[in-house]
Amino acid sequence: MIEPLWEIFVRSRRGLSHTHVGSLHAPDATMALRNARDVYTRRQEGVSIWVVRASDITASSPDEKDEFFDPAGDKVYRHPTFYQVPEGVEHL
Amino acid sequence: MSHLGYAAGMDSFQATIDADGRIEPRDAMPDGYRKTLIRQIAQHAHSEIIGMQPEGNWISRAPSLRRKAILMAKVQDEAGHGLYLYAAAETLGVDRADVLDLLHSGKQKYSSIFNYPTLTWADIGAIGWLVDGAAIVNQVPLCRCSYGPYARAMVRVCKEESFHQRQGFEILYTLCNGTPEQKAMAQDALDRWWWPSLMMFGPPDSASTHSEQSMAWGIKRHSNDELRQRFVDMTVPQADVLGLRVPDDGLSYDEEAGHYRFSEPDYTELYDVVKGNGPCNQERLAHRVKAHEDGAWVREAAAAYAEKQALKEAAA
Amino acid sequence: MTDLFVYSLRLGDDALISAQRTAEWIAAAPQLEEDVALGNIGLDQLGQARTLLQYAGTVEGAGRSEDDLAYFRDEREFLNLQLCELPNGDFAHAMARLLYFATYQQLLYEELLKSSDEMLSGVAGKAVKEVAYHVDHATQWVLRLGDGTEESHQRMQAGLDALWPYTAEMFSSDELVQRLDVAVDPSTLQDEWTRRVTAVIDESTCGRPESSYQHSGGREGRHTEHMGYLLAELQHVARSHPGATW
């Protein structure tokens, strides 16, 4: 394979984080950025682009999903809905 | 953990499918599921990029600058759609270059509709209206396909395609309200594109080979005949607005059922075109292969340059 | 024919004929990403052409639309540079032409921003961003092809050399641009153009093209033989149905 694969992240507007939109092939980061501009923001979908070489991404394995993600499941106290707010209290 | 992990993975695959959830790239999945998706997504991508040709032919001849700009943007979108889809196929562990080789060597197919020639400007209208119209009917259910990356690519494609169909209809509407020669051109285009468009939904359910398993896997949501019926129901009233005659003597409206009844397309023609005997099979593939081969030295140069720059950076 | 009409046609025809050639790459580019990129560039050029030809029609005041001017003028009435009409050649030729032409357009539009003609400065305001991207795109490719493989280096050099004799025409001044105070005299752009273009060529490891015989005539409607075929293709549907709406 001549051209590496790049994952593309686009910030659709100020105030939002970059979101993964897809991928493309390019010989280097400079061209990846330019190609991403042409391919993924033809309709003004973005104000900022990140390109990341796909091979540089370390991903969690689906096999590990139990030990990775289940332990967070019982920590309900992290969510605001866990707490009771007396009636009539606002702005909390 | 390997064999246990695998078994658990397959259980969770089926559970995800049963719950109408989405399968993601690194999930365990049956081999057949992976292969079916690779084939379908790749052929879908091939269709997008081969589909650039019959319309791309007309960019240089578009009869107004406005039409020229619209057509350029449309054909460019198709390249973009091909890209989204190849990227989705790559999440299943294949390489775009390899998949393109399968297209170039004729081992993978693309939609047969693109093996018909575009003979007049009205054909550009007919392609947008009928071919993109049929494609949208086919593709909208794919936005809910069980494989996440394919579904997401299709959401993007469908969003962008809605302008394609409208611009096609607009071309024909303008022709139908123009000179008698223009209107005749529009009718001629409908006469030639109607049957091939109906065949875009594939063989009749009674003869379709891949359908059942794909339905069970949530890759396919509706049968070929269901989608074909939906397309006819949608399109015939639009032809009336244009003042064009759908070239089917058997066409009638069934009030009770709320559907149009239409004649069976000549599927022997479909099989013939699939086999490579359509009017443009040779040209389309040859053009594609030539572009790819002519570009080889460019791609090699870009890779060589990237390598040199990386070495320079490492040395610095 | 007023000077402003002719001047708008010159710029508009450059953009139109360039768009026609750029569009030929769609479905024929070296990689899919490049089909999309060249599509964007062609659309930019076509957009510039449409605005400029519309303006020419308005200035003329004879009721001619952008389409009348694009489809119903004959070859000798087109005022574009010969550089724009030459056949595409290989990808290195295409990138050489884009580097030469877009750098010229960039300098031109930067100056035209200051024009007291609001329409022209308005066109320039939009186009200057577009062509900056075209210059960048061409630059990236000239660098990669020039300093890529041996084959690409040779092809890049050949492209730069082949099109060089069509570059002086961009800067030829005449009475019209000197008379027309809202226009940019292109001869004032040449030094900066040469500096920018040779900087890219040097970095690409290619050699600067030797100065040689320079073609001209486009601004007077004298074109290469290629122009007739280009126009035949561009115009034939519209001309087969005079008066029709599309």
Render each residue's pLDDT in chain A as its tens digit; 92 residues.
Answer: 468 999 999 999 999 999 999 999 999 999 999 999 999 998 888 999 999 999 999 988 776 666 777 777 777 777 777 788 888 888 77
The pairing of strands A5-11 and A48-53 is: antiparallel
The residue with greater pLDDT, A80 or C76, is C76
pLDDT of residue B210: 67
Burial class (CB in 10 A: 0-12, 13-18, 19+), B155: middle
Residue C37 in contact with residue A41, Cβ under 8 Å? Answer: no
Inter-chain CB proximity C23 and B299 less than 8 Å: no
Residue from C89, C214, C105, C219 nearest C164 by CA:
C214
Chain C nearest-CA residue for B85: C32
CA distances from A63 to A83, B24, B90 (A): 34, 13, 21
Chain A nearest-CA residue for C136: A34
Q: Give the domain CATH number at C84.
A: 1.20.1260.10
Q: Among C32, C141, C151, which would you mutate to test the B interface (most chain B Cβ atoms within 10 Å of its Cβ)?
A: C32
The domains located in chain A, with CATH, are: 5-78 (3.10.20.520)
Inter-chain CB proximity B63 and C30 less than 8 Å: no
Residue A46 in contact with residue A55, Cβ under 8 Å? Answer: no
- Which residues share a beta bridge with B164? none
Number of Cβ within a 10 Å radius of residue B223: 17
Partners of B84 on chain A (C-beta within 8 Å) are 22
- The encoded tokens of residue B32 equal 């057949």
Inter-chain CB proximity B73 and C43 less than 8 Å: yes
Say how far apart CA C69 and CA B165 lie, in whole Å: 29
Partners of C238 on chain B (C-beta within 8 Å) are 63-64
> Chain-centre distance of CA A66, in angstroms?
21
Q: Is C24 on the interface with B (CB under 8 A)?
A: yes
Low-confidence ranges of chain B (pLDDT < 70): 1-8, 209-210
Inter-chain CB proximity A27 and B299 less than 8 Å: yes
Place of tokens 């022997």: B268
DSSP helix, strand, coil percent of chain A (3-state; round to 5): 35, 20, 40
Neighbour-count burial for B99-128, b at 16+ CB within 10 Å, e otherwise: bbebbbeeebbbbbbbbbebebbbbbbbbb
Residues of C in CB contact (< 8 Å) with A are 31, 33, 36-37, 39-40, 136-137, 140, 144
Q: Among C22, C25, C26, C31, which would you mutate to test the A interface (most chain A Cβ atoms within 10 Å of its Cβ)?
A: C31
pLDDT of residue B5: 41
pLDDT of residue B207: 84
pLDDT (tens digit per residue) in C83-124: 999 999 999 999 999 999 999 999 999 999 999 999 999 999
Inter-chain CB proximity C33 and A42 less than 8 Å: no
Q: Which of B28, B87, B303 sits opposite A22 (nearest CB)?
A: B87
Mean pLDDT (whole number) for C15-27: 97
- Which residues share a beta bridge with A5? A25
C246 domain-assigned: no
Inter-chain CB proximity C36 and B69 less than 8 Å: no
Taken in order C60, C63, C67, C73, is the CA torsion positive or negative? negative
Say how far apart CA B21 and CA A32 lie, in whole Å: 32
- In CATH, the architecture of B3-315 is Up-down Bundle (1.20)
Domain assignments of chain B as residue spans, ordered by start: 3-315
Say how far apart CA B312 and CA B295 lie, in whole Å: 26
CA distances from B106 to B6, B99, B201, C30, C143 (A): 35, 11, 21, 20, 35
Type of residue found at C214: Q
Range of the domain at C162: 3-240
- Which residues share a beta bridge with A20? A9
C245 domain-assigned: no
Inter-chain CB proximity B65 and C67 less than 8 Å: yes
Query: DSSP letter at A77?
Result: G
**Average model confidence (pLDDT) across chain C:** 97
Type of residue found at C143: L
Residue C201 in contact with residue C147, Cβ under 8 Å? Answer: no
- The total number of structural domains in chain C stands at 1
| pTM metric for this prediction | 0.93
pLDDT of residue B26: 86
pLDDT (tens digit per residue) in C148-188: 999 999 999 999 999 999 999 999 999 999 999 999 999 99
Number of Cβ within a 10 Å radius of residue C223: 22
ipTM of the modeled complex: 0.97
Return the SS3 of A16.
Answer: coil
C196 domain-assigned: yes
Q: Is B21 left (phi over 0), alpha (psi -120 to 50) or beta?
A: beta
